[in-house]
């Protein structure tokens, strides 16, 4: 299941190690997550559901969905998609909630003993938005701490093997993976990036609760920039919880980060840019793509992306959807069906496809818990992905000094996420260090650049959403 | 306009290829990018100024076939892999078509391949003449395939 040769990527694997899962030895490589190593060993079922005891595999592979939780070295509810495999680790599949061990609550939660760290700008999330915020805020002298719950920096950029669109200013024609590296390389000594360090709470006056080295730590910041990204939407159909139904991002994580094939043959649901791009990446990795289904009458992806796939002979079926998945304990196939003008299934058009993996690419939802904890005014704007914090052009929310950037602000391309992060970073540093001509010029440039990206017909939805957001600000 | 929004592929009526006179003069780039998407590396990369965008990066690329000499720099720079090289002057009977190809293994010169159309249908057989794959092309090699002259505007991919 491991990919040895890839047209774009080189997989440099760490030392070979071995751990135990449910009594069976599992071969893994250092630097690989537990879930990835298990997948490579052919183990897709990680737990069983609470009520019905149904088998569960992972869905998102970036720590957002909780369906990969297992017991690791006696600790229950460990998200195995985010924790690296270690030599002699003991992993047990979990049924239901998992049993907590004994914890001396008084000792662990004595507030006086909780370490406190101060910084000027705390940034939540080291994806394109968070890193860009750090890059520009630090350039103008602000001390930044970036908290990333994953073990790697770069967010979703680290799995984007395709070249980006836009102009030079948006890193056009550079592959996503290399853009991530450019951002990381550009950080100066004012920035400290902490990986494997999730932010779990927000307290008044810009205090963040983070889990650092397995301990609760309080971060006191003057400005907070929240770039938590988004999680993938689920689609409802019978057996959508079978192991082998993955989000498109999870498929990318497995194949482009861990170098592990998600399956042998795939059905892709959703012909937006992500669905079509990931389907193409699957072909590059050597996976057979049965078809891409799209419930809408037209393909949402850029024509150039769709054409790339079509000339390889992969069908994109518009007005088609998945009726059900089937399989004994794992995906073995799917029934697909054609839809009429009113989105109703056309009887008699059902047919079965034999696939071992179903990939869902049906939209994203902003990750907004921190804004709600911070008391930010929220608004529901479907064009921007659903519930989001209300914010101005400078990316500041309704809570003074708390900013949003990237997919947490609106579901868009990584290019816009980088610009939004840059804007948030610039505004935060301007408020900390004082107005300068240079910063004002930069901010204007970022605004113009964002407007330019959103100016075409594909930016229409975002422009409508932005207009609604402006209304909400009033 | 064809039904590309429904089925994902373009047809000849969607694009404006060079005329026969230009095609017979030698290699030229054919851009198959019909939507207004925010993207301009093709015009940015062209040393001869042959590819321009009218006012913004959301415009469709406009190519001046008189200025284009078919050098192929834009092919590897196009994030949409939507630019192809056509050389109808290759020989008496054959054209040479350059296709961006991001798959492994790369074919070798002399290899016979099945030619595929924009919709992935087999439409003939061709012979790989060379593979251009420099560092500057950043992992988007161009595979040059000789084929019957009449296939040059139909073939956009191949199978080994």
A372 closest CA partner among A394, A384, A391, A387? A387
Give the number of other CB atoms < 10 A from CB of residue A31: 17
CATH code of residue A224? 3.50.50.60
Question: Which residue of A lies nearest to B133 if distances are taken between CA atoms?
Answer: A7
Q: Which two tokens stand for residue A114?
A: 């909780």
pLDDT at A115: 93
Q: Are residues A431 and A453 in the same domain?
A: yes
Q: How many domains does chain A have?
A: 3
Please check whether residue B20 touches A, CB under 8 A: no
Residues of A in contact with B37 (CB under 8 A): 165, 302, 304, 456, 458
Q: Convert the pLDDT of each residue in B106-115 to its tens digit.
A: 999 999 999 9
The verdict on whether omega for the bond into residue B105 sits within 30 degrees of 0, i.e. cis, is: yes
Which residues 451-470 of A have a C-beta within 8 angstroms of B?
452-459
Beta-sheet strand order (sheet of A288-294): A245-247, A357-360, A265-269, A288-294, A316-318
Please give the Cα distance from A429 to A438 (Å, whole number). Answer: 12
Residues A274 and A222 in one domain: no
Q: What is the DSSP letter of A316?
A: E
Spatial CA neighbour of A378 closest among A431, A370, A363, A461: A370
- CB contact under 8 Å between A304 and B80, yes or no, is yes
* Dihedral angle sign, alpha carbons of residues A250, A253, A258, A262: positive
Q: Which of B2, B31, B38 to mutate to test the interface with A (most CBs of A within 10 A)?
A: B38
Estimate to the nearest angstrom the gap between the alpha carbon of A287 and the chain centroid.
Answer: 22
Q: Is residue A104, in this structure, part of any structural domain at all?
A: no
Strands A116-124 and A215-226: parallel
- Residue A252 shares a structural domain with residue A176: no
Backbone angles phi, psi at A206, to 5 degrees: 60, 50
Kindly state whether A163 is in contact with chain B, defined as any CB-CB distance less than 8 angstroms: yes
Looking at the complex, does the CB of residue A3 fall below 8 Å from at least one CB of chain B?
no
Place of tokens 């007005």: A319
Cβ contact B98:B72 at 8 Å? yes
- Three-state DSSP string of A140-206: CCCCEEEECCCCCCCHHHHHCCCECCECHHHCCCCEHHHHHHHHHHHCCCCEEEECCCCEEEEECCC
Contact A304 B38 (CB under 8 A): no
Is residue A333 located within the same domain as residue A269?
A: yes
The answer to whether position A464 is within a domain reads yes
Contact flag B38-A8 (C-beta cutoff 8 Å)? no
CATH of the domain at A82: 3.10.20.440
pLDDT one-digit tens code per residue, B87-127: 999 999 999 999 999 999 999 999 999 999 999 999 999 99
Q: How far apart are the first and last CA of chain A?
A: 54
What string of pLDDT tens digits covers the 474 residues of chain A? 899 999 999 999 999 999 999 999 999 999 999 999 999 999 999 999 989 999 999 999 999 998 999 999 999 999 999 999 999 999 999 988 887 766 666 655 666 788 999 999 999 999 999 999 999 999 999 999 999 999 999 999 999 999 999 999 899 999 999 999 999 999 999 999 999 999 999 999 999 999 998 889 999 999 999 999 999 999 999 999 999 999 999 999 999 999 999 999 999 999 999 999 999 999 999 999 999 999 999 999 999 999 999 999 999 999 999 999 999 999 999 999 999 999 999 999 999 999 999 999 999 999 999 999 999 999 999 999 999 999 999 999 999 999 999 999 999 999 999 999 999 999 999 999 999 999 999 999 999 999 999 999 999 999 999 999 999 988
Is there a contact between B4 and A306 if contact means CB atoms under 8 Å apart?
yes
Q: For position A100, what pLDDT does the model report?
A: 75
The pLDDT value given to residue A226: 98
* B37 has a chain A CB within 8 A of its CB: yes
The reply to whether A384 and A443 lie within a common domain is yes
**Do A358 and A249 share a structural domain?**
yes
CB contact set of A301 (below 8 Å; sequence gap of 6+): A271, A272, A273, A275, A276, A277
**Cα-to-chain-centroid distance, residue B1:** 20
Residue-wise pLDDT for B26-64, tens only, equals 999 999 999 999 999 999 999 999 999 999 999 999 999
Q: Is B4 left (phi over 0), alpha (psi -120 to 50) or beta?
A: alpha
> CA torsion A396→A198→A187→A128, rounded to 10°?
-60
pLDDT at A108: 57
Q: How far is CA A271 from the centre of its chain?
A: 19
- Residue A107 belongs to a domain: no
Full residue range of the structural domain in which residue A197 is found: 113-231+365-473
Residues of B in contact with A172 (CB under 8 A): 39-41, 44, 79
Last residue of a domain, one of A338, A362, A386: A362
Contact B79 A8 (CB under 8 A): no
Which contacts of A471-474 are long-range, i.e. CB under 8 A and separated by 24 or more positions?
Answer: A472/A377, A472/A379, A472/A381, A472/A390, A473/A390, A473/A391, A473/A392
A191: β partners: A144
A236 is a domain residue: no
| A127 within a domain of the structure (yes/no) | yes
Pairwise CA distance, residues A230 & A248, whole Å: 13
Beta-bridged to residue A194, according to DSSP, are A147
Provide the shortest C-alpha distance from residue A429 to chain B (in Å): 29
Which residues on adjacent β-strands are paired with residue B97? B86, B145
- A177 with A153: CB under 8 angstroms? no
Where among A95, A124, A152 does a domain terminate?
Answer: A95
Helix, strand, coil shares, percent, chain B, to 5: 20, 30, 50
The answer to whether position A2 is within a domain reads no
Both A302 and A326 in one domain: the answer is: yes
Q: Map A45-98 to HEC letters.
A: CCEECCCCCCEECCCCCCCCCCCCEEEECCEEEEECCCCECCCCCEEECEECCC
d(CA A118, CA B80) in angstroms, rounded, equals: 45
Task: Say how far apart CA A190 and CA A49 lie, in whole Å.
Answer: 45
Answer whether B49 touches A (CB < 8 Å): no
Kindly state whether residues A373 and A358 are assigned to the same domain. no
Residues sharing a CB contact under 8 Å with residue A439, sequence separation 6 or more, in sequence order: A140, A426, A429, A430
What number is the ipTM of this complex? 0.97
User: CB distance from B34 to chain A under 8 Å?
Assistant: yes
A237 touches B: beta carbon within 8 Å: no
Cα–Cα distance list, A394 to A263, A400, B8 (Å): 43, 12, 38
- Does some domain include residue A415? yes
Contacts of A303 in chain B (CB under 8 A): 4-5, 8, 10, 33-35
Between chains, do A453 and B38 touch, taking CB under 8 Å as contact?
Answer: yes
Residue A137 lies in a domain: yes
CB-based contact A164:B79 (threshold 8 Å): yes
Distance CA A251, CA A357 (A): 10
Pairing of strands A94-95, A265-269: unpaired
The first and second tokens of residue A363, run together, are 């939209």
């Amino acid at each position: 299941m491991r990919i040895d040769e890839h047209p774009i990527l080189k997989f440099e694997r760490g030392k070979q190690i071995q751990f135990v899962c449910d009594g069976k030895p599992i071969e893994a490589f250092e630097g690989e997550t537990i879930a990835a190593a298990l997948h490579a060993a052919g183990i897709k079922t990680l737990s069983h559901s609470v009520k019905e005891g149904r088998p569960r595999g992972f869905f998102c592979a970036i720590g957002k969905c909780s369906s990969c939780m297992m017991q690791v070295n006696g600790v229950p509810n460990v998200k195995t998609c985010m924790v690296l495999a270690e030599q002699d680790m003991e992993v047990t599949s979990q049924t239901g909630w998992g049993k907590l061990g004994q914890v001396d609550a008084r000792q662990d939660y004595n507030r006086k003993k909780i370490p406190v760290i101060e910084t000027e700008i705390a940034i939540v999330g080291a994806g394109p938005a968070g890193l860009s915020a750090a890059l520009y805020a630090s350039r103008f002298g602000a001390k930044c701490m970036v908290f990333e719950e994953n073990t790697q920096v770069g967010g979703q950029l680290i799995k984007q093997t395709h070249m980006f669109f836009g102009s030079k200013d948006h890193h056009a024609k550079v592959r996503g993976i290399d853009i991530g590296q450019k951002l990381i390389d550009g950080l100066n000594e004012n920035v400290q990036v902490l990986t494997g360090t999730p932010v779990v709470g927000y307290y008044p006056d810009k205090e963040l609760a983070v889990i650092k080295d397995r301990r609760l730590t309080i971060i006191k910041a003057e400005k907070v920039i929240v770039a938590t990204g988004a999680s993938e939407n689920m689609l409802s159909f019978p057996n959508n919880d079978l192991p082998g139904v993955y989000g498109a991002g999870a498929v990318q994580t497995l194949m482009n980060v861990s170098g592990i094939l998600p399956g042998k043959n795939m059905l892709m649901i959703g012909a937006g840019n992500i669905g079509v791009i990931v389907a193409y990446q699957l072909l590059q990795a050597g996976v057979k793509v049965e078809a891409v289904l799209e419930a809408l009458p037209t393909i949402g992806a850029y024509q150039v992306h769709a054409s790339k796939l079509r000339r390889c002979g992969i069908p994109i079926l518009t007005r088609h959807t998945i009726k059900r998945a089937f399989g004994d304990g794992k995906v073995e196939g799917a029934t697909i069906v054609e839809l009429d003008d009113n989105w109703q299934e056309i009887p008699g058009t059902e047919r079965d496809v034999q696939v071992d993996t179903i990939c869902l690419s049906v939209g994203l939802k902003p990750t907004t818990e921190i804004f709600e904890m911070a008391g930010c005014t929220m608004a529901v704007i479907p064009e921007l992905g659903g519930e989001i914090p209300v914010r101005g052009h400078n990316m500041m929310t309704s809570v003074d000094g708390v900013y949003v950037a990237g997919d947490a602000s609106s579901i868009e391309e990584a290019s816009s996420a980088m610009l939004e992060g840059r804007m948030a970073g610039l505004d935060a540093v301007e408020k900390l260090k004082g107005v300068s001509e240079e910063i004002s010029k930069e901010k204007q440039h970022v605004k113009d650049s964002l407007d330019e990206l959103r100016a075409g017909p594909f930016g229409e939805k975002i422009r409508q959403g932005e207009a609604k957001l402006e209304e909400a600000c009033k | 306009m064809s039904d590309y929004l429904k089925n994902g592929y373009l047809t000849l009526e969607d694009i404006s290829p060079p005329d026969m006179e230009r095609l017979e003069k030698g290699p030229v780039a054919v851009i198959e990018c019909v939507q207004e998407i925010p993207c301009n590396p093709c015009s940015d990369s062209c040393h001869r100024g042959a590819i321009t965008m009218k006012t913004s990066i959301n415009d469709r690329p406009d190519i001046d076939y008189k200025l284009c000499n078919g050098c192929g720099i834009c092919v590897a720079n196009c994030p949409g892999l939507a630019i192809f090289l056509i050389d109808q002057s290759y020989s008496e009977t054959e054209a040479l078509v350059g296709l961006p190809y991001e798959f492994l293994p790369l074919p070798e010169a002399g290899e016979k391949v099945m030619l595929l159309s924009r919709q992935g249908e087999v439409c003939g057989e061709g012979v790989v003449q060379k593979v251009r794959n420099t560092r500057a092309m950043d992992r988007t090699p161009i595979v040059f395939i000789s084929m019957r002259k009449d296939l040059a505007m139909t073939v956009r991919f191949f199978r080994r």
